[in-house]
Amino acid sequence: MVNVIMKNTYLLLLTVLFLLGSNLQAAEKGPTADLKPILQDLTAVLADKSLKGDEHRTERREKIMSLIKHGFDFREMSKRVLGKTWQDISDKERDNFTTLMTKLLENVYIGKLESYSGQTLEYAGEVIKEERGQVSVLLDNAGVKIPIHYIMQKTDIRWMVYDINIEGVSLVRNYQEQFKAILRKDNYQGLVKVLEEKISTFSTDLK
């Protein structure tokens, strides 16, 4: 009888430990846990003195985009930016639009990232609702704390960012509004042309 009780107690302890381990692992896989190392690595690249200057621009930007693509879901971002029009275009057109949006964001925002001069991030918390999550951070810029919210979704691999809200301004909503006017006037092909021309001017500016 004692052996049976001990065996049952042992099995119970194993079960509790397994459940605790599972809960700890699940906590580690939350949106903050997935986003934090990417932002840390990104900060390290931006602060790397060996990557400073125009002569290192290509290498620096490749490293930055490699990190960003690891944590940002540009396809989901593109889908939300395009809205209902996404449902009306082919898979090939969706791939092309995602490529254009990625290139646009790369050129628009990497320049701003490259002005990094030692600002620090303070993690203010996360909110999870089913497959969606929000990680809030405070960017300390010379004593002024700027709130940034990373809007994320859980994928088969990890939590991925699909929108960024800075001081109440959503990146996705901002582009939605810009593109709506173009879509009404020139339809989807007109929007593609506008994006291609815009990206072309970035390439020219870098030469």
Given a cut of 80, whether residue 7 has pLDDT beyond it is no
Residues in the chain: 207
- Name the domain count of the chain: 1
Question: Is the four-CA dihedral 117, 149, 58, 202 of positive or negative sign?
Answer: negative
Distance CA 93, CA 76 (A): 14
What confidence tens digit (pLDDT) does each residue in 68-125 have?
989 999 999 999 999 999 999 999 999 999 999 999 988 888 777 877 777 788 999 9
Q: What is the DSSP string of 149-185?
A: EEEEEE-SSSEEEEEEEETTEEHHHHHHHHHHHHHHH
Tokens of 11: 């099995």
Confidence of residue 203 (pLDDT cuts 50, 70, 90): low
Distance CA 96, CA 68 (A): 19
CATH number at residue 82: 3.10.450.710
Domain that holds residue 28: 2-205
Residue 121's pLDDT is what? 85
What confidence tens digit (pLDDT) does each residue in 119-176 have?
788 999 999 999 999 999 998 878 889 899 999 999 988 999 999 998 889 999 999 9
Give helix 57-71 / helix 91-113 axis angle, nearest 10°. Answer: 120
